[in-house]
Amino acid sequence: MDLSFSAADIEFRETVRKFIAENFPASLKAKLEAGHELAKEDYLAWHKILATKGWVAPAWPTQYGGPGWTSTQRYIFSEESAAAGTLPVLPFGVNMVGPVIYTFANEAQKARFLPRILSGEDWWCQGYSEPGAGSDLAGLRTKAVREGDHYIVNGSKTWTTLAQHADWIFCLVRTDSNAKQQEGISFLLIDMKTPGITVRPIITMDGGHEVNEVFFEDVKVPVENLVGTENQGWTYAKFLLAHERSGIAGVARSKMAIGRLKEIARAELVDGAPLLDSPEFRAKIAEVEIDLSALEFTELRTLAGESAGKGPGLESSILKIKGTDIQQRITELVVEAVGNYASPFIHRDARMGDNIQPIGPSRGQRAAQTYFNMRKTSIYGGSNEIQRNIIAKMVLGL
């Protein structure tokens, strides 16, 4: 693999860097840096700016609104976005359901949904996990029974990220209870304003309202909202999860997180000397950096394969496992570095934006909340234990 940057790539990097510097909203940047709760309009602000520029969906084919970037340009864009501390575009529309629609949906569905995903007019959430059917996704029980031109949907989904803001939800539903588990599932697009849908918040241990339960009670969904073929939803679900897992790796943002960790370790004193001078702590950072470097090369190979027309395969499981492991290890080292200032409840009110004086240095104010929030990364998108089983079966033949 040729990892050298051409003159065109260097020029592209400068273009991206300048665009972000001139267009990323200062008010949003201040909110992110202060750790304040984000409103729906905050999440959409940067999305809409990128959509106007034509940069919101770097991996999409040009015929559906993608920018036509090479794998190197996509890599550069992710690096520059992370370096500038931008808010990542929400993945549910652009990175998850969008590729399913442009790959498997009919032309009418593509024309209806893809432009609104790009523009941010439709906010999507994911209806996969259920109580008792998270890692064992094929065990889902939400049922869709066809009655004429509609499906009647009953059941529930859980851990539904930002469903409180969503306009649409893409759902895996059981349409054949007599078939084998994976063979009786369909992929359905559901308007969240449909009568019979209830969203109930789940407050996580970091004090945030990020995830929800979603209940369906006799919800009528037009048959025209079925993607692909009935009972073939498992195929589309696996395709979506491969894209999701690749995106979870978060290499560029982990590189920036390590940079911030080093800044904290330089500021924290142990027996009068910076923590970063400790050989033991430096060794911990070095170990994470080495693993991240290896992961970066794996991500670049995956991007190059996608540019050559090869969809993400088992590499996505590797990216997911190692990416989330690294993310969690970084947050653990931050907590270790700031010590008692990482107490989980000291800064909660300050994080929520209330007028309360933070305790201790600013570098410790969100350490505990971030640590707790990142515990989820090894579970969502298919737990890391499941990913190891996939690798063992498909690569090692075990």
Cite the active site residues.
Answer: 244
C-alpha to C-alpha distance for 158 and 131, rounded to whole angstroms: 6
194 neighbors 220 (Cβ within 8 angstroms): yes
Q: Two tokens at 44?
A: 């959409």
58 neighbors 66 (Cβ within 8 angstroms): yes
C-alpha to C-alpha distance for 19 and 56, rounded to whole angstroms: 13
CB count within 10 Å of CB 72 equals 21
One-letter amino acid at 222 equals P
C-alpha to C-alpha distance for 160 and 164, rounded to whole angstroms: 9
Tell me the sheet residues that pair with 226.
Answer: 188
Q: Environment class of residue 221 by beta-carbon count within 10 Å: exposed (0-12), middle (13-18) or buried (19+)? A: buried
What stretches of 24-149 show up as alpha helix (H) in DSSP?
A: 26-34, 40-53, 71-83, 91, 98-104, 107-119
